[in-house]
Chains A and B, each alone.
Chain A
């Protein structure tokens, strides 16, 4: 059963641990601009929203790539960008509906979340539980329970 990365932004406090560990694991340095997961914040209003790859079933990044560098694995559902094939045209960056796909000018290639090949580190280091990685049914079930609870308490 394929797992999905669930984001409950209400629990996000904007600590950006996820950005630190993601960039460290993928690029060898703590650099938020090179992190795959990014936290958008509005300090005054008080919300923090982590944004990462949605692993779309019909990914736009795959459709707009003119050289076939972006692809989706049917079995795992993972959408990846092959850095070697990437020509740095940035169509995927512009096409992503969630503004997730980014571009590294130093490498001349686009980059995106790869779920750390099945063991996402951002989830491990998220201490508030805003990020979880679990089978979709379980995640949805929990959401259903929480919603039902809320209604029952009102």
Chain B
């Protein structure tokens, strides 16, 4: 069962630590533009949206890739790239709706989040818990229970302590 990088956008403060730790971990450069996770900021409304690879099952990037470099790892479900064959055309970057692909301007290839092999650094450093690494089922069940609670609360139903 695969885990996904789940983002609670209401908790993101835009601190940028995820970007920094990702870039340093992956490239040894203190350069947020090389991070595989990027924060889209709207300072005026206090909206901060970290965006990263959604690990789509049939990724738009893979369809657009002119060298068929992009595949899915059968075990983990992560979107992986054979970087040796990447010619840096950036077609995948243009095709991704989530701005997930990062152009590494030093290596001149395009990269994406790979969950750091199963222990994502950004999740560990996120100070607010906006980033989590969860099974989809866990997350969905929690949210559905919260929704049920919201409906029952309207009628002043009891809620157990457990």
Contact = CB atoms under 8 A, between A and B. Distances in A.
- In the complex they form, whether A and B have CB atoms below 8 Å apart is answered with yes
Interface of A: 9, 33, 38, 40-47, 49, 51, 66-67, 86-91, 93-94, 97-100, 102-103, 105, 108-109
Interface string B128-160: 000000001100100111111101100001111
A42 B157 CA distance: 11
A99 B160 CA distance: 21
B59 A87 contact: yes
A117 to B, nearest CB: 24
Nearest to A44: B160
Given A67-B60, A87-B57, A90-B54, A40 B148 contact: yes
Nearest to A67: B60
Interface of B: 1-2, 4, 6, 54, 56-60, 77, 97-98, 136-137, 140, 143-149, 151-152, 157-162
A52 to B, nearest CB: 11
A33 B137 CA distance: 9
Contacts of A40: 144-145, 147-149
Contacts of B6: 94
A103 B147 contact: no
A9 B151 contact: yes
Contacts of A98: 144, 147
A88 B58 contact: yes
B74 to A, nearest CB: 12
Q: Which of B146, B147, B158 gathers the greatest number of chain A CB atoms within 10 Å?
A: B147
A112 to B, nearest CB: 12
Nearest to A97: B147
